Structure 1
Amino acid sequence: MLPTTEFALLRRIAGEQATNRVPSLVAAIVRDGEIAWWGARGHLADRVEPDADTQYRIGSITKPFIGMLVLRLRDEGALELNDRLETHLPGTDFGHLTVAQLLSHTSGLTAESPGDWWERSSGTSWDELAARLDGNDVRHRPGARFHYSNVGYGVLGELVARLRGTSWSEALRTELLEPLGMHRTTPAPEGKHATGWAVHPFADVLLPEPAHDAGAMAPAGQLWSTLTDQARFTALVGGHTGGVLSQDTIAEMRMPQAVDSGGDPNNAWAMGYGLGIQLARNQGRVLAGHTGSMPGFLASSMIDPVTGTGAVAMANTTAGPAILGLVLDLISLADELEPALPAPWQPAETDPALLPLTGLWHWGPAPFYLRVLPGGWLHLGPASGPGRASRFRPLGDDRWEGLDGYYAGEILHVARTTDGAPHHLALATFIFTRTPYDPEAPIPGGVDTGGWRA
């Protein structure tokens, strides 16, 4: 990046590290699936500086990886998101909860596991955890509200293990980490890594934090990772899937399933949650990724899927820095000081048979334009101003499936004349015609025979 941009980014992380007394902090900007800039402040020990290959514990950033494993199982047909847990993991007192509810923190399941604080205690087996949980640990009506549940991801980790016939960590290594080249993301620290510290609130002294294996709760926050690997994860959330997930699946994971108003009396939301992915609203845009914390560590990864700019930050302190705010600021700085250039326009291969579909159509009296997109996709949207707009994916036989907006999942059908010319569009009971309320088309309710009049 430009020297002026790099200095502004470095100054931001330097201020965070110094002001909040962080032992060490690393951060990076991610663009086009790669690290565009990275920086570090502070020391690990004996004046050793952290770098892009230093491991930090990433805590709940483990959760999106579990979500991706579950979505891979869904894509393979091994489960459905609306399946009740008992279908695949029998023997619990909360088998009525669905997979989707667990993924999106809308199951109502208790936030923390019964017993001692799991983040600072040696973990138990799944059987021990399941035995401690009962029907009383469902705190809210399933689907009623967002309620963050670490326990829910312990359950999902066991679900992955049962369906794969191996541990969740082994499934993660073989299905995601190795194909993506994330060899420095591990359940326990390996090689160069940061020590987790608590910083005294009123003195410049440190206390080491424990780093136990969380056992059955490990899927909620066990992993360690590096800046290099977390940049790859950030790019994955943004759509650079590396073949481990489809573009459609990662986009589905980013779709808001629940919002968290944080007690705002106006119910405005700044944070939300998809399927294993956390969402943050900032300066008019929605970013995707996750935050993480464990005793001695804080981490955050976020990306704007629209601009493709993301950021990662990791620190070895229990509290102090506003790690999410830092990441959001880094993204804003990068896009403000050095906005990414749009890809140059170039002609695309287009089926000539689609061209007669393009142009002006009318929903009643309202004009819409139909455009052809690369890959035979279509876009239908208002000719001007706001309104219902959607992209459509080809299904064959003059049928397209809506991908977003009001018509997501709905089928657009092209009706033709006897000579094969497109006559009207049928979409979710609505009829679009070349002229407003064409009397020759099957307009619902019919068209007044008197026609248009003054």
Structure 2
Amino acid sequence: MSVTARYARAARKAQATGRIPALSVALRRADREPWIFTVGDSGNPDFPLDRDTRFRIGSVTKTFTAVLVLQARDQGLLDLDEPISAYLDVPAHGDATIRRLLSHTAGFQREAPGDIWDTLMPPSSAEMLAQLDRAERVLPHALRFHYSNLGLAVLGHLVARLHDTTWEKLLADRILDPLGLAATTVLPPAQAAVGYLVDAYSDAARPEPYLDAGGVAPAAQLWSTAADMATWGAFLASPETVDPDGAVLAATTLDEMRWPHTTRDETQWVSGFGLGLLLAPQGRRAVHVGHNGAMPGFLAGVYGRRGGEGVPAGLGCAVLGSSTTAAETLDLVHELLRLAVELDPADIEPWRPAAPAPREYRSALGTWWSEGSPFTFAWHAGALQARDADAPADLPPSIFAPIPDRPGVLRTVSGRETGELLRLTRDDTGAVARMHWATYRFTRLQDGFDGGLASDGPE
């Protein structure tokens, strides 16, 4: 069975097992044409199910809003650790910081005030902000994770206010147009699939009503195709393959967004949140980065895979389904990302000799000892690196960069002790004789904190 046949079989099984009226799937990687697959019936008599059928993506919308917020931060328009009252005139809860709202740790109640899911009449943006004094702070600020549509909706309007425009226009101008996500829209287009509630005890499927999210739009409004969303998943995990010039967001900022801020469950650390991004660890130092989405009649899973052995560059996947109840939709996206690595891993690049380390670092290479443990310092890919000699082979090394105008001092730019200084002390010949990393002493021989050699034993 071919690789794509395995993908298709997994999709067909999910659609049949989950009883999903329409399922659209896309798997995207930088070195292949995207694989797109559909199965089922759109429910739209004028537009049969195909790769251009549009589905509601629900809370995947939050990842777009989060990117808009980080764009504004990078422009100097806001500070993530400032309260929202610094930028919005709100009647209550103005002390909540932007960072805590992005990571769902601000304690905001889940929904905007009112029984939205009964009335299907969300407030407008102006109403939602004006009614914040009716919303509860269900948990103290920064106590723990609590998912909130309200919190992300507030941030969407905050960032729009900073640009003196609407969230919808800002989204199109700053993300959708630059990335070419032409099939991603705020309103349902003519080729939209019908969303269903599938009966638990029969094969009946009831069309669900359309809900315009109103003021909560920045948290849940968007429609899209699987192809667009697979590209978006790849952007979140590997922006250099989708936005190589950083026109939408700097790769370093997306690194920041992906750093985990909280787990979703105290006792099962199987998923967490960064800054607006859901993180699903996969073992072997791999993580799926993205978001799930749900709206009446629809479920969506949109993720990119990052880290781990064999992961192709720019690997993103989207699974969009027209049933509210089929958890298989959300499971399939992770299964396909795993299958892509298992069945069609990235090519192994051959090793080739390179230029030697600069003379000033050659005497720093080799084994050094600190706190009784060995560390290996090496020069690879044009940088000084270090790793604990006893660490697992798949643990990335620490990488150092020289600090201009500070000879013999380097900054740790990734890996263990990121941000800390490495100081090189040289002897009379100019060779590195001792190092201090994060102020810990590194020596060529195994010695104790008093400078005595381990090999000497007690005096």
CA distance in 2, matches of 1:52, 1:349: 48
Range with greater deviation from structure 2 (99-108 or 135-144): 135-144
The code of the aligned residue for 2:451 comes to V
Q: Which residue of 2 aligns with 1:330?
A: 336
Q: Equivalent of 2:379, from 357, 372, 381?
A: 372
Q: Which residue of 1 aligns with 2:159?
A: 160
Q: CA deviation at 1:435?
A: 3.2
**What is the aligned residue count?**
441
Q: Which residue of 1 aligns with 2:255?
A: 251
Asked if the contact 2:196–2:298 (Cα under 8 Å) also holds between the matched residues in 1, the reply is yes
TM-score by length of 2: 0.87
The code of the aligned residue for 2:305 comes to D
Q: Which residue of 1 aligns with 2:107?
A: 108
CA distance in 2, matches of 1:251, 1:433: 33
The code of the aligned residue for 1:401 comes to R
Range with greater deviation from structure 2 (251-260 or 376-385): 376-385
CA distance in 2, matches of 1:23, 1:359: 61
CA distance in 1, matches of 2:398, 2:70: 24
Unaligned runs of 5+ in 2: none
Asked if the contact 1:34–1:232 (Cα under 8 Å) also holds between the matched residues in 2, the reply is no
The code of the aligned residue for 2:422 comes to L
1:304 aligned counterpart, secondary structure: strand
Q: Are residue 299 (structure 1) and residue 291 (structure 2) matched? A: no
- Following TM superposition, the consecutive aligned residue runs of length 4 or more in structure 1 with deviations greater than 6 angstroms are none
Q: Which residue of 2 aligns with 1:42?
A: 40
Range with greater deviation from structure 2 (348-357 or 323-332): 348-357
Unaligned runs of 5+ in 1: 438-442
CA distance in 1, matches of 2:33, 2:277: 21
CA distance in 2, matches of 1:336, 1:120: 46
Q: Are residue 384 (structure 1) and residue 384 (structure 2) matched? A: no
Q: How does 1:270-289 map to 2 (within 5 A)?
A: 270-284=270-284, 285-289=286-290
Q: Equivalent of 1:435, from 445, 453, 456?
A: 445
Q: Are residue 358 (structure 1) and residue 365 (structure 2) matched? A: yes
2:197 aligned counterpart, secondary structure: strand
Distance 1:75 1:348, change over 3 A: farther
Q: Which residue of 1 aligns with 2:264?
A: 260
CA distance in 2, matches of 1:130, 1:151: 10
CA distance in 2, matches of 1:361, 1:449: 13
Q: How does 1:166-245 map to 2 (within 5 A)?
A: 166-241=165-240, 242=243, 243=246, 244-245=248-249
Q: Which residue of 1 aligns with 2:17?
A: 19
1:198-217 alpha-carbon deviations (Å, 9 max, x no partner): 22333333322222321221
Q: CA deviation at 1:47?
A: 9.1
Q: CA deviation at 1:79?
A: 2.0
Asked if the contact 1:41–1:49 (Cα under 8 Å) also holds between the matched residues in 2, the reply is no
Q: CA deviation at 1:119?
A: 9.3
Q: Which residue of 2 aligns with 1:440?
A: none
Q: Equivalent of 2:5, from 1, 4, 7?
A: 7
Q: CA deviation at 1:113?
A: 1.0
Q: Are residue 425 (structure 1) and residue 423 (structure 2) matched? A: no
Q: CA deviation at 1:120?
A: 6.8
Distance 1:395 1:90, change over 3 A: farther
1:77-121 alpha-carbon deviations (Å, 9 max, x no partner): 222221122122233411111111000001111111111225972
1:382-415 alpha-carbon deviations (Å, 9 max, x no partner): 1234599533344433443334454122222333
Asked if the contact 1:414–1:425 (Cα under 8 Å) also holds between the matched residues in 2, the reply is yes
Q: CA deviation at 1:351?
A: 6.4
CA distance in 2, matches of 1:334, 1:389: 26
Asked if the contact 1:33–1:240 (Cα under 8 Å) also holds between the matched residues in 2, the reply is no
2:2 aligned counterpart, secondary structure: helix
Aligned identity (percent) is: 36
